[in-house]
Structure 1
Amino acid sequence: MSRRVTVVTVVTAVHAPSARFLPEAYGSLCEQRLPDGWEWRWLIQQDGAGDGVLPYVPDDVRVSFRQGRAGGPGVARTMALARAEGPYVKILDADDQLTPGALARDLAVLEADPAVGWATSRALDLLPNGTTAGFPGDPEDGPVERGAVLDFWAANGFRAQVHPATLCVRRELLLALGGWMALPASEDTGLLLALNAVSRGWFSARAGLLYRKWEGQVTGQSAHTDPVEREARMAVVAARARALGEFGWRYG
């Protein structure tokens, strides 16, 4: 008789320039030690078509790969949700790495309290020379109350106190909010603020992600800081979160 397995889905959007980092992301997944009865499945979704990504996709039955029309990382992740299994979805960008134990800590939080809709953790910048650097002002380990992320983000130059690239979220809640926002960037911040508008979250003070800094990352491009586009992105991100809060719908 085969043992019963519960799946946590890991979703990764990738395009050709970042594909070379997939083996390191895969290595960090393979180092995760999950509780008995749990397994991860890795959904890699290429943003656009072409042959530049597939050579870097690991040959592993736990890994599936698809590609589709280009629309940005938010579109790619949302398309990957069609293949998602299990109660939770973990985000892992193609150029980042999980730290040992990160996935098990997320599961422990979400399994322990059904009222917590999502979990985040401390992130460390992974610099080109291989060293790491932390972010100033990380919150304390513990719950993130509903609405707290929007308040902090609005008061601190559109910087959230928890990193959206570290999200692990209940799959049904993610689907109910429509996945990631249809924005050219900041789509993960938009999701984070929407999640916090309707549910409590959690922050783990232990580092759960190595956030790679490199010359090709989207957030390092000049278009990302264009003031006109950035103002529009921030406005719609905030408006969505405020509207959700005002409508009064609550998770859990």
Structure 2
Amino acid sequence: MARRVIIVTAVHVPSAQFLPDAYKSICEQELPDDWEWRWVIQEDGKTDQVSPHVPDSDERVVFRQGRPGGPGVARMMAMAHADGEYVKVLDADDQLAPGALARDLAALEADASIGWATSRVLDFLPDGSTAGFPGDPDAGPIEPGEVLEYWKANGFRAQVHPATLFVRRDLLLALGGWMALPASEDTGLLMALNATSRGWFSPEVGLLYRKWPGQATSQPSHMEAAERDARMAVVEARARALADLGWSYPAEGQWRTGTS
């Protein structure tokens, strides 16, 4: 039986229009012969406006709905169907770059001390062009605490993007997954991962990050000062608490070879 990577996507009505592009980018991924992917799409709500955009003839695609609670809640509900060893995040309006899944998988399969992987991102602009930005870390391992300290020192902007995360499923669940926040829930997960485990950065482009007017991070509410300060404070507090408790992955004597 093939081993499995689960791609988890939270979607709401405005972003559903981009699901076909996301699906195309997944279908273009290549994995080793003994691996397969499954795409779990979780609607943040229960409407009849998302399902028409979901591929209905591919048994590798699972679509579920639930009470609205934001993308973090939707992703956590999707984890009920994440029956694989690894979880790859893909937002509904983004696209995987060629080779992204295979590179992430290779990094974690090669080193049992690596708990998660990230990769370079290009902004995908409305006119179809792309734009990069400086500040990527060196290729290879990311040691515990590196992302947290960089994020804290650089205006709460991490040098790796949480939308590119590829994570061991058991590690993601042990940390409680995405934080219960109105935004920055993925940053909260990234900081918790970095507080407890080694990561990996691939310098090859792994994600096209769509910029469009309906994007949640482009809304004025996302940058409202009081809420943003509170979000950043609790993200940092969680990460530092995990580090102070001394919990790390893998647990002592628990070196893994990719099985969960």
Same fold (TM over 0.5): yes
How far off its partner does 1:148 sit? 0.5
| Cα distance in 2 between the residues matched to 1:230 and 1:48 | 25
Q: Which amino acid aligns with 2:121?
A: A
1:83-232 to 2 correspondences below 5 Å: 83-232=81-230
Partner of residue 41 from structure 1, selected from 38, 43, 58: 38
How far off its partner does 1:179 sit? 1.0
| Cα distance in 2 between the residues matched to 1:30 and 1:249 | 37
TM-score (norm 1): 0.98
1:121 aligned counterpart, secondary structure: strand
CA RMSD, Structure 1 to Structure 2 (Å): 0.5
Which stretches in structure 1 are left out of the alignment for 5+ residues? Answer: none
Q: Does 1:244 align with 2:209?
A: no
How far off its partner does 1:181 sit? 0.2
1:21 is matched with 18
Deviation track 1:17-40 (CA, whole Å, cap 9, x = no partner) reads: 000000000000000010111110
Deviation track 1:133-176 (CA, whole Å, cap 9, x = no partner) reads: 01211111111100111100000000001000000000000000
% identical equivalent positions? 72
Deviation track 1:82-107 (CA, whole Å, cap 9, x = no partner) reads: 11011100000000000110000000
TM-score (norm 2): 0.95
Partner of residue 73 from structure 2, selected from 72, 75, 79: 75
Which stretches in structure 2 are left out of the alignment for 5+ residues? Answer: 251-260
2:256 is matched with none
How far off its partner does 1:200 sit? 0.4
